[in-house]
Every structure is written in C-alpha cells, then in structure tokens.
Structure 1
C-alpha cells in the first residue's frame, strides 16, 4: 500500500492496484476535478463500499473543497455529491 495523498488530503492511504477507482478519484480531487469522484460514487453498489467511498471523499474535501463545490454547482441536487457534502460537514462538526 502506498501513501499517495499525504500532501494536503490528510492521511488517506489507497493502493492504486487494489482500488484504482478510488485512487483516480482522490488524484482528481488534488487537481480540482469532481468527475472521478462522481464515477467512484456511481461504482459503489454495496452499502459498505458506498459508505467507505463517501467518507474517504469527504475527508479529501475537508482539505480541498473546491472540487466538491464544482460538482455541486454543475449538478445541483445530485444525491452522490450531496452525500459527500453532508459527510464532510459531519466530519467538520456541523
């Protein structure tokens, strides 16, 4: 496992070989891109996986929120973006 996202996205560890979808999503957040995160959320069919992706993306958004704001602006009312936003707010204590 590689610690890929130590620069500004917390201590998120994702093995790109074991979880390429989430690794792409986190890399996208560092570039301010929301589409890889949206793809990761859409790929999550099981509740446990969905919760893991949601919380991981919410943790990333706590450090760099621009990509999430762009996602919410591009797709108002998107359930996946809203879930990540609410998870981020919860992590922030709101």
Structure 2
C-alpha cells in the first residue's frame, strides 16, 4: 500500500469519526433496499410500481433521518461551547503582539 493510499484511508477514517451518521445513513439505505428487493417476490397483489415507491420512501426516510440526527448533534455540540469574548482591549492587544 503506497503512502498516497494510506493518506486517503486515514482521511476517510477521520471523516467517518467526525460525522458517523453518513456511513450509517448509507448502510441503512442499502439495507432497506436489499430487504425490500428480497421481499419483492412475496408482495402479493401489490403493483410493482407501488412496491418500488414504498421502498424508495423508506430508504429515503432513513437517510434523511440520519442527516437530521447529524445536524442536531452538530448544533448541540457547537451551542454547548462558549464563544471567546472579543473586547476592544483583546483586539488591540492581539494586533500589538503581531
């Protein structure tokens, strides 16, 4: 494995650790689609188009739910940290130090 590929792997793992809901959403999407396709042979008298619409809505709902949960987690984590107050004195002091 080259150093370029190792860099991509570590970048991918870093992104997954930052936001674990994206792979969760994709895995749920694939799982729901796979389950519905497996269940397709026992759909009874339901039309194919209706079955496919239900499959798409369920998979899409799972992905949207994962994205919503990710946004809620991001919002609550950023709101919980206090902002650094910038007063006029701090600004002048920082410019003098530069």
Range of TM-score over shorter length: under 0.3
Per the normalisation by structure 2, the TM-score is 0.24
Per the normalisation by structure 1, the TM-score is 0.25
Q: Higher helix fraction: Structure 1 or Structure 2?
A: 2
**Which one scores higher on RCO, CA 8 angstroms, separation ≥ 6?**
2
**Which has the higher Rg, Structure 1 or Structure 2?**
2
